[in-house]
């Protein structure tokens, strides 16, 4: 067993007790990157090895700063890490070096993490398939001909291949959930507002995207979440699920889990997705929880129209300056141009209507959470697809009318900023992994992680089934 097979908290304990040095861990990490990253292309902008060994040596000699002290980590290439490039997967920003850390990255550094590079992402994080003109595509370590998902595909593949023990990700439309499910790891979209973004531009209107943790165990998710969360005094919104990790040791009451299935036929699933999800739900029932089918009681098409309206509005706000420059616009991928043009064409009442639908859905979820504690849906509607594809054009014979319609299953939680944990649930007949979304009411982050921990203790999918690329 390699030291890299250990979870992050175990490595942290070994570093703390001096049974393992930061130099030894860095040496093993860089050797693993050298051995497998050429195949999966998960870590990009890798820093100079001599500089990293010098930082590891300094960490061994320095007082312990936090539980991440001496642990290598790579930052998703949408976030700024001082001194490293932030391409955002766009040729417009290739080679652009960050002058400061983003808030979340600064918190990881303050806890002692050693930043070795970045993790790959789609251009501007758009689309749940990690490919871009700067760094290329990230391959699924369980089948190198398949997608690793996205937009946190680089982070998920790096975790699966043990190049990293924990990673940051971000999630607007499943970007922490889809790649986690497709790489047999855990990914958490926390309650919106718990992990601050940057105090730049508008800070009131757009509440769709959030950063969050990824790991091979729920305990590591909780530990990383505790580092990432906390209100930023420079921003108007904030929610802090305090001391999440200690709560995992508490007894978990019997949970009522509501299976939303395929949203009464609205969500097409590839063969095997529903069956594997229901098998996992049966296992959760055997672990002492109540599982029942529940009607969403809300039109999927209404949710979809609300979502794509608010999403395009948000994307247009972020990319308009690039779009307005014809030369820069020519470097944007079609999905980005499509989003911006939709956003620019909207009037105020269209946005008002979309927000009213979102509000109605929130009111409906308060009723659902009176019946159950947790809602469940698959993390993706299909298996990892060919890495050469831009996006899947159909699912089970149903045509996809946009580049992201195939991820419709993730928007019920995203639209409201609800916390979600992806749990790995095993493999299909094709040998590819899948995941299940456990969705809670706002602020129930710790309770979701408790449930995920119960699942993990009984299954340990990431530990029992590493990618064959490692064998």
Band of residue 471 on the pLDDT scale cut at 50, 70, 90: confident
CATH of region 3-470, choose from 1.10.260.40, 3.30.70.20, 3.40.718.10, 3.90.1300.10: 3.90.1300.10
Mean pLDDT calculated for residue range 332-358 = 98
Beta strands of 172-269 (E only): which ranges?
A: 186-189, 210-215, 256-259
**Tokens 């089918």 identify what position?**
293
pLDDT for 242 beyond 80? no
Query: 176: part of which helix (H) or strand (E)?
Result: none
pLDDT for 413 beyond 80? yes
Supply the pLDDT for residue 238. Answer: 85
Supply the pLDDT for residue 215. Answer: 99
The count of residues in the chain is 471
pLDDT for 390 beyond 90? yes
- Residue-wise pLDDT for 429-450, tens only, equals 999 999 999 999 999 999 999 9
Q: What is the pTM of this model?
A: 0.98
- Residue-wise pLDDT for 58-72, tens only, equals 999 999 999 999 999
Band of residue 152 on the pLDDT scale cut at 50, 70, 90: very high
Q: Torsion over CA of 223, 227, 231 and 232, rounded to 10 degrees? A: -160
Mean pLDDT calculated for residue range 157-185 = 98
Mean pLDDT calculated for residue range 165-191 = 98
Mean pLDDT calculated for residue range 361-367 = 98
- Percent of the chain surpassing pLDDT 90: 98
Residue partners of 130: CB distance under 8 A and separation at least 6: 120, 121, 122, 137, 138, 147, 148, 149, 150, 151, 152, 153, 154, 179
């Amino acid at each position: 067993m390699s030291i890299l097979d250990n979870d992050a908290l175990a490595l942290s304990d070994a570093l703390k007790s001096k049974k393992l040095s930061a130099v030894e861990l860095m040496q093993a990490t860089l050797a693993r990157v050298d051995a497998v990253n050429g195949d999966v292309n998960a870590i990009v902008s890798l820093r100079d090895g001599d500089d990293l060994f010098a930082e590891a040596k300094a960490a061994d000699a320095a007082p312990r700063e936090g539980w991440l002290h001496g642990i290598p980590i790579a930052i998703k290439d949408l976030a700024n890490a001082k001194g490293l490039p932030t391409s955002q997967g766009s040729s417009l920003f290739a080679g652009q070096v960050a002058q400061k850390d983003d808030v979340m990255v600064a918190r990881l550094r303050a806890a002692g993490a050693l930043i070795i590079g970045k993790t790959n992402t789609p251009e501007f994080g758009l689309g749940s398939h990690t490919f871009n003109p700067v760094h290329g595509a990230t391959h699924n370590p369980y089948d190198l001909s398949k997608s690793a998902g996205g937009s946190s595909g680089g982070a998920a593949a790096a975790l699966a291949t043990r190049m990293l023990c924990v990673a940051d990700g971000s999630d607007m439309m499943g970007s922490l959930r889809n790649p986690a499910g497709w790489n047999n790891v855990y990914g958490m979209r926390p309650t919106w507002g718990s992990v601050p973004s940057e105090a730049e531009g508008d800070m009131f209107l757009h509440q769709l995207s959030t950063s969050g943790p990824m790991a091979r165990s729920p305990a590591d998710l909780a530990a990383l979440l505790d580092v990432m969360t906390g209100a930023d005094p420079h921003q108007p919104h904030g929610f802090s699920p305090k001391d999440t990790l200690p709560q995992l040791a508490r007894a978990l009451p019997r949970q009522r889990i509501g299976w939303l299935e395929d949203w009464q036929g609205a969500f097409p699933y590839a063969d095997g997705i529903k069956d594997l999800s229901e098998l996992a739900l049966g296992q959760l029932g055997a672990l002492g929880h109540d599982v029942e089918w529940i009607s969403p009681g809300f039109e999927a098409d209404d949710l979809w129209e609300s979502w794509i309206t608010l999403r395009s509005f948000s994307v247009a706000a972020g990319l308009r300056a690039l779009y307005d420059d014809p030369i820069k616009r020519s470097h944007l991928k079609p999905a980005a141009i499509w989003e911006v043009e939709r956003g620019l064409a909207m009037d105020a009442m269209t946005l008002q209507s979309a927000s009213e639908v979102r509000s109605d859905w929130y009111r409906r979820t308060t009723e659902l959470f009176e019946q159950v504690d947790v809602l469940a849906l698959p993390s993706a509607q299909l298996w990892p697809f060919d890495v050469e594809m831009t996006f899947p054009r159909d699912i089970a014979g149903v045509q996809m009318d946009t580049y992201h319609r195939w991820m419709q299953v993730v928007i019920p939680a995203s639209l409201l900023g609800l916390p979600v944990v992806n749990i790995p649930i095993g493999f299909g007949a094709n040998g590819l992994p899948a995941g299940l979304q456990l969705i809670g009411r706002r602020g129930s982050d710790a309770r979701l992680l408790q449930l995920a921990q119960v699942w993990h203790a009984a299954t340990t999918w990431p530990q029992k089934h590493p990618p064959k690329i490692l064998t």
